[in-house]
Amino acid sequence: MNNLSYPILSTIIFLPVLGALILTLISRKQEELTKWVALIFAVSTFILSLPLFINFNKTTYKMQFVESHNWIPAWNIKYYLGVDGISVLLVLLTTISSILCILISWNSIKIKVKEFYIAILLTCGAIAGVFSSLDFFLFYIFWEAMLIPMYLIIGVWGGPNRIYATIKFILFTLVGSVLMLVGIIFLYFYAGRTFDILELTAKTYPYKMQLWLFWAFFAAFAVKVPMFPVHTWLPDAHTEAPTAGSVILAAILIKMGAYGFLRFSIPLFPEATKAMVPAMLTLSVIAIIYAGLVCLVQKDLKRLIAYSSVSHMGFITLGIFALNSQGIEGGILQMINHGVVTGALFMCVGIIYDRTHTRQIADYGGLATHMPTYAAFFMVFTLAAVGLPGTNGFIGEFLTLLGGFTANKLAGVLAATGVIIGAGYMLWLYQKVFFMQVNKKVIGLPDMDLREMVALTPLIIFVLWIGVYPVQFLDFMHPSVQHLLDRVNLAGGTQGINIAKAFLEVIR
């Protein structure tokens, strides 16, 4: 079923790279041509990626669409790609996001246009590589390669404090990545000089070693999510990034951290994972409640949505570390939902910012009167963000809360308060921006144009599609999630060990 006439995963990764190389040959003065070439490559990548969704075998946990070639035989490094039920939807989300980033930036990027679209294509290609790699060496190359164009997107095309936000982003992610690299190298030598991820996850490691390595990998993945308390780089990066940069951050980049927990931390270190469950659930609940409360006092549109992103990612890690099928499947589905809804909200903020050049909530009011189409789009995504039944946000949050409650009743109850807080700040935001007294600054603003509606309409389709018929997406995950849980359940160790005891085990 997976025998296609072309290497689909390599195409998804390197077709955007080819597009970026072609853009380097186009004159800087030909900005319209640059945009169309970038869009053509993004759309082509998405179309060529559709067989992932259509031909995926939902009855097996094994890797599909596998590509394996010897790369550096002396170090036993392979060019090894494949996807399963955990990663396939994330790859598709990446190809969709690249199209949206290009469309939403069409008129807003005024300087270094060619370089901007090159950076967008390279970033999306590298992130697709992260979700597809089955060799640790290859994975780490894509993991780090993504940082360079993302650094430029924020640092060159960002807001007034872009340099501060960029340096903070790089420092946070670099420290975590270095620690993960140490863990990868250790595994390479310990397991008989192999970077093969599937081979490494099939082995069993001593408990104390698992604890050490769990924290080494945790440093990289927790920063990317980002989990509390290493979340502070994200609001700054979101606030200063251009709209497309915020969409990439929200839709796909921070999913790399949650994906890392699922692909590496849990299957490689199952005993350590079980020991760390109380700590992970605690950090997740803190992120949900703390970031939600911070949203209530925000005055900047973009910063409010940035902190809401931290809160919603807390639901994802809650589901993942519940270590049950409802929680993990809910977490994976919520990764997709968060990418759709939060990415759409950042696009909506970009649309109004292009017209008013202000993100202050106080500068708006009565916007529904002058931009009714925009108000309708924003309302759909607001309702999805608060988890209204019938939208994708509801089923994702419900499953993560169900999984969290099953794992720890207190964690589930406390996390549920985040739903109430989320409804509070999102509905308050909508009221302040679209209703109340009409602000003079919004009088005469043009409503959404065709390009903007085309960019947002696919996201509304996903909001309703997943909300009404989530089983079509959950079916992708069942075998892979069950296989992951079998790996954890076969491991020894005592679930519920406290974090202090775990640290003592490491020190000994």
Written in H, E and C, the secondary structure of 440-479 is HHHCCCCCCCHHHHHHHHHHHHHHHHHHHCCHHHHHHHHH
Asked whether the beta carbons of 85 and 482 are under 8 A apart, the reply is: no
Both tokens of 508, joined, read 């000994």
Asked whether the beta carbons of 16 and 121 are under 8 A apart, the reply is: yes
Both tokens of 95, joined, read 């190809």
- Round to whole Å and give the CA distance between 319 and 199: 26
- Round to whole Å and give the CA distance between 440 and 481: 53
Asked whether the beta carbons of 430 and 379 are under 8 A apart, the reply is: yes
Three-point CA angle 418, 420, 426, nearest 5°: 95
Three-point CA angle 242, 310, 119, nearest 5°: 30
Closest CA to 256 of 97, 115, 410, 132: 132
Predicted local distance difference test score (pLDDT) of residue 438: 81
Q: How many CB atoms lie within 10 A of CB 111?
A: 8
What letter would DSSP give residue 438?
A: P
For the chain, the average pLDDT equals 90
Asked whether the beta carbons of 335 and 90 are under 8 A apart, the reply is: yes
Domain residue extents for the chain = 275-508
Backbone angles phi, psi at 262, to 5 degrees: -75, -40
- Round to whole Å and give the CA distance between 263 and 260: 5
HSE value, Cβ hemisphere, 13 Å, CA-based, for 466: 30
- Is the dihedral angle over the CA atoms 251, 88, 132, 45 positive or is it negative? negative
Coil, strand or helix at 78: strand
- Round to whole Å and give the CA distance between 350 and 297: 21
pLDDT digits (tens, 9 = 90+) for 378-419: 999 999 999 999 999 999 999 999 999 999 999 999 999 999
Strand partners, 133: 81
What letter would DSSP give residue 363?
A: G
Predicted local distance difference test score (pLDDT) of residue 492: 56
Predicted local distance difference test score (pLDDT) of residue 499: 45
Predicted local distance difference test score (pLDDT) of residue 27: 87
Both tokens of 355, joined, read 């017209």
Predicted local distance difference test score (pLDDT) of residue 213: 93
Strand partners, 64: 83
**Which residues of the chain, if any, have pLDDT below 70?**
1-3, 491-508
Predicted local distance difference test score (pLDDT) of residue 210: 92
